[in-house]
Copies of this chain bind each other. A is one copy, B any other.
Amino acid sequence: MTFWEKSDTIIHMKKMNTAPISGTEELLPALQAKFDSLLNEIRKVYRAHGFQHIETPVIERTEILLAKAGGETEKQIYKVVKTAETADEADQALRFDHTVPLARYVVQHLNDLSFPFKVTQVGRNFRGERAQRGRFREFYQCDIDVIGRGELAIAYDAEIIATAIDALQTLPLPNIQVRISNRKIIRGLLAELLLENSDLSAKVISIIDHAEKVSSEETHSALLDLGIDAKEVTKIEDFIAIRGARAETIGKLRELGIDNEVFAAGVQELDEILRELETRGLGNQVVSDMVIVRGLDYYTGMVFETIVPEYREIGSICSGGRYENLAENYTDIALPGVGGSIGLTRLFWIMQNYELIHIAELCAIEVAIIPVSELDAMAAEQLARDLRNEGHVVDVVRGGKNLARKMKYASKNAQEVVVVGEKESRSGKYQIKNMLTGETVDLAQWRSQKF
């Protein structure tokens, strides 16, 4: 049995293009059920860690969305055309991530929230990106964040990573590895090299962010092209090569002999976060790596990415970091935060491509009940009601006298099948057949085992 067996192919004339628009996705039911179960596992872990779920609107004021964002975002944002009834409202657009609406939400509800505010958002975001395989314009993101009021303990940086690891380990993936660094360390290094000029340092950070996607020669000449001395370029190259376990990395960083406060604070935070993760038994899943800087300019402290070492080419599957001022464009209150995000739509697409999801094993319905004729339908519905009350997913296949057709439907869609005829409904004794193994057992026995 395979759920994906094609039904009788029929020829019909489409009057219109019915494909979903490019960059959006819709799944067939069995695959959707798998997606839902992964989403639920992630939600369950987030919830178990005490992250409170919120949902913000999909449509936001454009001025809120673009208060901080730069050119790239503005080019990709989906604006919404006002209708006759909303003509007098402010300009509106679709949210492109969860972070910006979260900042607005926290400012709006400041006095009704408790801090540190551990919060999760799971839903679709929208970006008008270039159409490309594996690039989505509508995609699920599963975010966690902790927002402090005035201050936020470094312990929450470790909690974000620990929660992300717990969540990722529910997915059908090989071993994962979280790569951690701290933006203060690179900032401190650049200050030491007298490259503190913000425009130049942003360019250096961008080159480091791309270093793994290009050859080391390209990185070298890109840095030289910025007008940086060869000696200093070597220092940057030596720096971004530092990676490994906590003791080793922290040792190497301290050996650099860089004497400024920002650098020292970054190393100290990195050490603290790695120590906590080790103590919490997650030492094998994390590594520090100075090449991790994260392009987004709102990160100010810890930054992380997550890779699947066995499939390194897929890039980061969960990223995040700390931002000192979540909502500086909306309020003058300091709201430091730390967060991370799993992009499940893309990750699910990858898992399908790597055959980590086995479609043939998926089945949409647990039990299909087939009344032989409509005369047996009420006995079938009563049995369905009883089984549903015991927690089973039950479909009663109704209509028509064609038993073979009903059996075919059931064998395609259900794990187990019960046929209800006159004899069965009179005696109340039913058999249940497993469509995968072909094994048939007494329903009473099956129920007592499942209950």
Q: Residue A92 contacts which of B21, B52, B76, B156 (CB distance < 8 angstroms)?
A: B21
Closest-CB distance, A98 to chain B (whole angstroms): 12
Known: A32-B54, A50-B394. A84 touches B80 (CB 8 A): no
A234 close to B (CB within 8 Å) = no
> Once the chains are docked, how many angstroms separate the CA of A76 from the CA of B81?
10
Number of copies of this protein chain within its complex? 2
Chain A stretch 8-30: residues in CB contact (< 8 A) with chain B: 9-10, 12-29
Question: CB-CB < 8 A to A60: which residues of B?
Answer: 20-21
Q: Are A80 and B56 in contact (CB under 8 A)?
A: no
The digit string for A21-58, where 1 denotes a CB below 8 A from any CB of B, is 11111111100110010000000000111101111111
Which B-chain residue is minimally distant from A16 (CB atoms)?
B330
Which B-chain residue is minimally distant from A76 (CB atoms)?
B83
Q: Residue A4 contacts which of B29, B112, B397, B413 (CB distance < 8 angstroms)?
A: B112
The digit string for A428-448, where 1 denotes a CB below 8 A from any CB of B, is 000000000000000000000
A residues neighboring B (CB under 8 Å) = 4, 6-7, 9-10, 12-29, 32-33, 36, 47-50, 52-61, 63-64, 67, 75-86, 89-90, 92, 94, 104-105, 107-116, 118-119, 124, 126, 128-131, 137-138, 148, 151-156, 159, 162, 276, 279-281, 329-333, 364-365, 368, 374, 377-378, 381-382, 385, 388, 391-400, 409, 412-413
Cβ contacts A to B, 29 pairs, < 8 Å: A6-B112, A7-B112, A7-B113, A7-B115, A12-B110, A15-B329, A16-B64, A16-B67, A17-B90, A18-B105, A18-B108, A20-B57, A24-B59, A26-B105, A28-B54, A33-B52, A57-B138, A58-B124, A76-B83, A78-B83, A84-B128, A86-B128, A114-B409, A115-B409, A116-B409, A155-B398, A159-B396, A279-B378, A280-B381
Query: Nearest 4 CB-CB pairs, A to B?
Result: A153-B399, A50-B395, A83-B128, A24-B57
